[in-house]
Structures are given as C-alpha cells and as structure tokens.
Structure 1
Amino acid sequence: MIKTPSFRVAVGTALMIAGGHSFASGFALLEQSASRLGTAFSGTAAVADDATTLFYNPAGMMRLDRAQMSVVASGIDVSSKFNNQGSLPALGQALGGEGGDAGGLHGIPALYVAVPFNENVAAGFGFNVPFGLTLEYDDDWIGRFQASRSEIQTYNFNPSLAFRLNEHVSLGFGLNYQRMLAELTNQVNYTAVIGSVSPALVPLNAGLQGGLVVRGDDAEWGFNAGVLIEFTPRTRLGLAYRSSINYQLEGTINFSPPTPTDPTGAAIVAGASAPGGPLADSGATVDIELPDIATASFYQAIGERAELMIDVAWTGWSSVQFLDVVRDNGVLLSSTPELWEDTWRYAIGMTWKLNDTWKLRGGVAFDETQVPDATRTARLPDTDRKWVALGAHWVPSVAWLIDFGYAHLFSSDTPINQNDGNTALNGLLLGQQESAVDIVSAQLTYRF
C-alpha cells in the first residue's frame, strides 16, 4: 500500500501563503508610500501629508487642502540564501546544492486619489498590493522536495470616506476588495513512493522525481478604519485598523510523474497517479484568515524645521494555527500545524526641512516575525528584522510633490530544521537562511 506522502503539507502551504520574504511581519507589505518609507514607516497613521494616507489612515484625508493623486513605484531587492549544515538526502536521491539566491528584485505598484469636498467630508480611492512576493530556489537544490518556487500576489481596491467631527477629531472608513492568487512548485520523490510499497525496488528506481504545481485563488471583502486626533496644529495622534480577511482559496493540484524503466515501479507510479490515488491531479480548497492590523501613530512638530514620528503596530498572525486542505471530493488531504504568533512593529523617524523646496527624512524600525522556529520552512524562512531608512521630499512647483525613499533591512541568520514530516520522502533540510533586503521607492503626487 502506498503511504500518504507528506508533500501534501506543501500543497496546503502553497494555497495559503505561497509568499516568500516580505517586510512588515511575515509576507505583509508596508511598501505603499515612498514618503513613509523614508522614515521607516513611522507616523503612518498620523502624518497625513499626501494621498497615500488612504492606506494607513483614511481619516488623514481631512488634512489635505486640495484634491490630489499619488502614484508610487517600489522595488524590493531580496537576497535569501540557504547554508547547509548537515542536511540529509531523500530516499534514493542525491543531496543536491544549496539552492542559490532564492530572492530577486520585485516591483510593488500603488495608486491613490483623494478629494476633499469641503472642510468636513473627503473621499478617495486606492489600489495597492498589501501581501506578496516570491522565493525561487535552484531546481536541483537540497530542499527541492519541500519547496522550489513560492509566489503570492494580492490586489486590493480600496474606496474610502472621511469626516471631520470637530476641529480636533476626524474619522475615516474604507472598504477593501482583495484578490489573492498563489502558485507553488516543488519536486516529488517518486523513488520513495515506490519504496513505500516495496523497499527492494528502491535500487532499481533510484533518482526518480517529478513535478508538483499547485495554484489557488479567491477574492473577498474587508475594511479599514481610522481616527485622527489633532490636539494642536503641531501635535496629533492617529489610530488605524485593517480587518482580517477570510479566504477560501480554490485551486488545482497537478503532478508530472516520471516514467520508470522498471515495470513494477512504473505500475506503482501509474496506480498512485490514477484518479483517486494519492498522487492524482485534483482540485482542492483551503480556508485561511489573513491577519488584522492595528496601528497607533504619533506626530510632533519640533521648532520650525523638525518633525518627530512614532509607530507601534500589532498584527494578528495567530489567526493562522492549523491548515486544513480538502480535495474537491470532500476528502481531507492534510492538516498542518503552523502555530503562528501575533507580532509587534516599532518605528521612530524624523524629518528636517532644509528650505521651502526640500525636506530630508530618516528612521529606524524593528519587526517581529510570526513564525516559530519549530514550524519555519524554506517557503517562509522569516525572522526578526531591523530597518534603517532614508528619504527626501521635493516640491518643484505648487502642483507637484516628489518623494524618494530607501531602506535596508538587517536580519540574523535563521535556523531551518525541516523534513515536512518525512525525511525519506522529502529529505532533511538542516542549516541556516541568510537574508538581506533593500527597498527603493519613488512617488509622484499631483495636487489639482
């Protein structure tokens, strides 16, 4: 009898979070504004000096004195390399290499339009990418039976309204229509599948491996809300909340089996790949709740030239505890413990006004990871990160604002000790992941 292969854990992971390294706790993306990047995303819910406030706190639209549109382009350059420290090969397979640099350069677009109708009401619309990015290892690497390529894309459409209650307090509310698309690939150890039926056949079928591609998608609704409290024209507090979003990702599981030269091995592979078999193509669904996020931000003008900004943010990643993957015939394919934890982010930044045309920015931040050591995988080798950011603000004319930002993220080497539940099928991935991130962003704002 063919044993149920543990690569099904990877199937579930793909449909849930096929994302790689990203940069605001897990695979959430803060990179929605070049103006905020320059201060390491400090003061995000309180600064409210351009249309990108729609993403961080829609109540901030009440501080805009005219309609404006902001277009943002961010590039995230990820380096993520595995260093082997005693990994073991899967049954009947060569160990393989270390996987090369699984990162790469990724573009993140965003667009915001904010229109104050009068002193008391404003409306806006935003388009952004709040979760995502990719990791892709070499095809012949050590962990190929656990992860080859992992990719997630989300697209968020966010209409918003803001109201001024009085001279000190403004409220904002937005709806979020968010679409998620995920794709995962990895290799499947068919030698071990044959060996689970007859260990004596392993030498005759050594080195047999095939491909697995998993795709899933869904679209759901969420909301965001915020309050902006202006104690004085120079001191304000912003509180913002983005809701969790419950997805039921529907996808497909597709295998590419090899053709063994051994007749008995070929028969076992054919049986496992036949409809209803453990290696058969099928549809699948996964229920997953992406986290809610709460942010408190503080802004203080200091003298005539300086500004101080602080952020404290909480992300509810504990919504991801166990992951159940169900085939389209209702059969439970797998139940995987993720055991993720809630995280905190802390940021502080300052600006310095050189003159009426130029302003300089800087900031530092610390991000916690949601992934415990015990459940960390090569698909999301996440770790705590420290930020250092710089930026500039240029006002070339009354109508145009231009912002630039840069950040470097430092992280410690991350331990990985993972066999996806079965060393014979998947090998043992034992070592450390070394990661570094550079982010650049440019933003063009037109004030009507």
Structure 2
Amino acid sequence: MKKFRLVVCCVLAAALLAPGLAYSAAFSIFDQGAKAVAMGNAFVAQADDPTAVYYNPAGLTQLEGTQIAAGVAAIWPKAEFQASKKDAALGTYYGQVTKTNDDEFFIPNFYLTNKYNEKVAVGLGVYSNFGLSTDWPDNWPGQYCSGATYTRIKSYAINPVIAYQPWKFVSISAGFIANYMDAQMENNILMPGGVFGPDGHMKVEGDDWASGWNAGIMFYIQDEFRLGASYRSQLCHDLVGDITVTGNNLINMQSGGTLDINLPSVLQVGASWSKAPFTVEFDYQWTKWSNYNMLQLNVDSTGAVTEIDKNWDDAHAFRLGFAYNVVKNLDLRAGLAYEPEFVPNETLDLIVPNGDRWTWSCGFGGQYGKWVADFAYAYLYEDERSFDNEAGDVYNAATGVKVGRLVGEVQEVSAHILCLTVTRKF
C-alpha cells in the first residue's frame, strides 16, 4: 500500500506541475485604472491620477492635495477546445468542441495619494495584478489534466510609494510591494476500466506572501511632451497548502505541500504628446517571463520533489492610446495593445493558453466639482494555438502508466472587461 501511495503521489505531482500556474502567467492583470484601460494601458508617461501608484509612481508629484480613488474591473473570460485526435481512454473524437462554463470575477482596487510639499508626494495602492478564474465542465475530455476542471487564483498587493521632484523637468519614485497569493486548482483522477474503482478528484490549495519593489521616473520635456518609465520587481512565491484526493478509497489522501513559483519583473517605457484637445501615448512593455523557468513541488507525506521545466520566453507588448477632450471636464478615449505569444509549444497548457494577444479598448471620463469618474470597456482576444505536449498526458493513477494524450486546438480565448474608477479630490 505504501508503494501504491507513492506511485499515486508521483502521478499527482506530475499532473500538478505539467501545466504549472499558467493562469497567473498568461493572464497578468494590468487593468488597474479605468482611464489607463480605456487608452490600452498606455499610461506610464501620463500617470496623472491616483492609479499612478501602479502605473508610474513618479507621476504622483503632479497631483495636488489629497486624492482617493476606488475602482473595480469586471472580467468575463472564455475559451474553447477542439479535439483533433480520437482517444478511447479520454472519450474524445475528432472535431469535438468543449467550451468553458460561464464565469466572471471582480477585481477591486484602491489608491490614496497626498502631495506633502512642492517636491514630495506619497501614495498607497491596494490592487490585484495576477488572477484568473477558469471553469471547464466536470466531465470534459481534459478533466484529467491538472487544474482543468476548475482553477482560481487571487492576489492582492499592498504598495506604499514615495515620489520626489528634484527639478522641474524630472520626478523619481520608489515603493515597496507586499503581495499575497491564494490559489486553488481542481481536476479528476483517472482510474480506468473500473478495476480500481471510480475516478478520484484532486483539489490543490495554497497561499503565500512575497515582497518586492517598484520604481518610476518621469521627464517633462515641455508642456506637450513627456517621457516615463516604471519597473516592478520579480516576486518569488512559495505557496504552502494542501493536496486532497477524494472519491476512491485506494487513492484518497490529504497531504501538505509547497509550490515554488517566480512571477516576472516588468519594465514599461512610454512617450506622451498632448496638445488640446488631443493626447496620444505609445508604450512598450517588457515582461521577464524567463524568470518562470521551472516549477518545484514538494509533497510532505512522501518527501517527493518534482521539478518541471517551463522555459517561457520574455514577453513584449506594444500599447497605443488616444484621448480627445470633447468639452471641459469630458474626455473620450480609445486604445489598442498587441502582445505576441511567449509560451513555447512544448510547455503550453490548458488553463489559459497563451497566443498572440490583441486588446481593443474605449471609454470616457468626466469631472464634476471634486469628483472624477472614469469608465472603460476592453475586449481581449488571443489567436488559436495547437495543443500537443506533456501537459495533455493522462496517467492511470493506480499504476502510473500513461493511457492517453489530449490533442487538439485551443481557440476563441477571449475576455470582456469593464472598468470603473471614481476619484475624490480634497
């Protein structure tokens, strides 16, 4: 029985790590302020509202007095999988299409800023910059792949910052980030033929705090032209939690475990030109996903350590934003962003497969007295990807023998995003 349990644990570890935590990786959340979202998140050289705490804290020296902003981003993701190979063990047939269940998640954010004097400003941000909810049908052909029936990740960052303007033409800033991550993944465990009893169900949960930092700089070249840059450091999480298997007495178990994951550093640079009534900004964003080169899982009950190479490439995103001042205190905005795929075919997974990503956005903002309201809508679409690698391998949990591979195409990966930010000036 002990040997049997060890086989089961090794199979579970392999299943858990095969796709990794791509839901946080392929779905980084940059939607931290409605004004920025409406402009395709091309905002690092403007950063002229309290969301500058996230986008570029050097912009805080522009803000007068004390300002409080609160907002929410509502995201509705979806995806489809089309099987391209018949597999009796998985119940797939050529052309079979499975859609994710309808789901949504809401991401709040909060910012507080204060201009201490003519040269110094401080701020505090509370937001989520990694997260996802993916919900596939319980009995779909990919049900035995890790996290492929249900995955949800939540993260919250607490980010105090300080900005300093030594000369009229430049501002600099730095901040500390305390980041909390809570993850949950579920999938079924194959016990084929009924010989070993019914299929099992695996649930993995874990959480952790990690620390990092951010910094920014802004150059005021002239009244119309600005340059900005911001940097967010890598976050190293050691998720600690439980692995629970139920539904079959042979494999029922509960064990503690840890999962080590490195989230990437991010550099964003941009240029903004503004001449009434128009504003245009172009940004380039570099995300160091090569930090995400390996996952390591430690299973407490067996002492097993499993390492899986991910070997992701760095990501390069290009963002373009426009704003038009219609009348006093009313702006219309639009944006476009493009990010080529950065996950290799060998390590692509089902949780949120990464393809070439396009994002179209629009919105508006208005001010009434000391109140400001900004609204944005964005549509995100990723190109289809072929799926045929080890992340789709399915094993007999009783024997550890591979019984099949899920092969097909992930398509219609998209999301609708609505954002609202309300700011009060004091």
Q: By how many angstroms is 1:66 displaced?
A: 2.3
| Cα drift, residue 148 of structure 1 | 1.1
Deviation of 1:31 (Å)? 0.8
Deviations, residues 19-76 of structure 1 (Å, cap 9, x unaligned)? 36xxxx722100100000111111x211122100110111100011221111111111
> Structure 2: how far apart are the matches of 1:373 and 1:337?
13
Equivalent of 1:378 in 345, 350, 356 = 350
Residue of structure 2 equivalent to 1:19: 23
Cα distance, 1:13–1:70 mapped onto 2, change above 3 Å? farther
- So what's the TM-score if we normalise by structure 2? 0.91
1:10 maps to amino acid: A
* RMSD, aligned α-carbons: 2.2
Taking a change above 3 Å as real, the CA distance of residues 102 and 335 of structure 1, as seen in their structure-2 partners, is farther
- Residues 334/342 of structure 1: CA separation in 2 closer, same or farther (3 Å cut): same
CA distance in 2, matches of 1:333, 1:188: 20
List alignment gaps of at least 5 residues for structure 1. Answer: 192-201, 260-268, 274-279
**Residue 295 in 1 paired to residue 268 in 2?**
yes
- Equivalent residue in structure 2 for 1:350, among 318, 322, 336: 322
In 1, Cα distance between equivalents of 2:392 and 2:323:
50
Q: 1:261-318, CA deviations, whole angstroms, 9 ceiling, x for partnerless residues?
A: xxxxxxxx2xx55xxxxxx42111122111000010111113x211110110100111
What amino acid does structure 2 have at the position aligned with 1:321? N
Name the counterpart of 2:186.
185
> Would you say 1:84 and 2:83 are equivalent positions?
yes
1:248 to 238, 249, 254: 238
Q: How far apart, in 1, do the equivalents of 2:160 and 2:335 lie?
A: 30
The residue identity in structure 1 corresponding to 2:126 is F
2:203 to 178, 189, 213: 213
Kindly indicate whether the alpha-carbon contact (under 8 Å) linking 2:18 and 2:390 is maintained by their aligned counterparts in 1: no
- Aligned position for 1:432: 409
Equivalent in 309, 313, 335 of residue 341 of structure 1: 313
Normalised by the size of structure 1, how large is the TM-score?
A: 0.86
Distance 1:220 1:391 in 2: 34
User: Percent of aligned positions with the same letter in both sequences?
Assistant: 26
Against the structure 1 CA distance between its residues 324 and 444, is the aligned structure 2 distance closer, same or farther, given a 3 Å change threshold?
same
Partner residue of 2:424?
446
Alignment equivalent of 2:386, drawn from 415, 427, 440: 415
How far off is 1:319 after superposition?
0.8
Q: Give the 5 Å matches for 1:4-403.
A: 6-12=11-17, 17=21, 19=23, 26-42=26-42, 44-90=43-89, 94-95=91-92, 98-102=97-101, 104-146=103-145, 147-191=148-192, 202=193, 205=195, 208-258=198-248, 269=250, 273=252, 280-302=253-275, 304-328=276-300, 331-397=303-369, 399-403=370-374
Number of positions where the alignment pairs a residue of Structure 1 with one of Structure 2: 410
Q: Letter of the aligned partner of 2:114 in structure 1?
A: V
SS in structure 2 at match of 1:173 = strand
Query: Contact 2:78–2:99 (CA<8 Å) still a contact in 1?
Result: no
Provide closer, same or farther for how the CA distance between residues 422 and 359 of structure 1 changes in structure 2, counting only shifts above 3 A. Answer: closer
SS of alignment partner, residue 11 of structure 2: coil
Following superposition, the deviation at residue 165 of structure 1 comes to 1.1
Shift of 1:415: 1.5
Answer whether contact 2:392 2:406 (CA < 8 A) is retained. no
Deviation of 1:333 after TM superposition, in Å, equals: 3.6
User: What is aligned with 2:377?
Assistant: 406
| SS class of match (1:47) | coil
Higher strand proportion: 2
Distance 1:112 1:13 in 2: 37
Letter of the 2:320 counterpart: I
Paired residues of 1:351 and 1:362 also in contact (CA < 8 A): yes
Distance 1:18 1:376 in 2: 9
- CA–CA separation in structure 2 for the residues paired with 1:242 and 1:215: 27
Which structure has the larger Rg? Answer: 1
In the TM superposition, what is the alpha-carbon distance from 1:348 to its structure 2 partner? Answer: 0.9
Q: Aligned-pair distance for 1:141?
A: 0.4
2:378–2:418 CA contact under 8 A, matched in 1? yes
Letter in 2 for 1:442: L
1:17–1:422: structure 2 CA closer, same or farther, 3 Å change rule?
closer
> Using the alignment, how far apart are the partners of 2:246 and 2:301 within structure 1?
21
C-alpha separation in 1, matches of 2:171 and 2:86? 56
Unaligned runs of 5+ residues in structure 2 are 397-402
SS at match of 1:142: coil
Change (3 A) 1:219 1:143: same
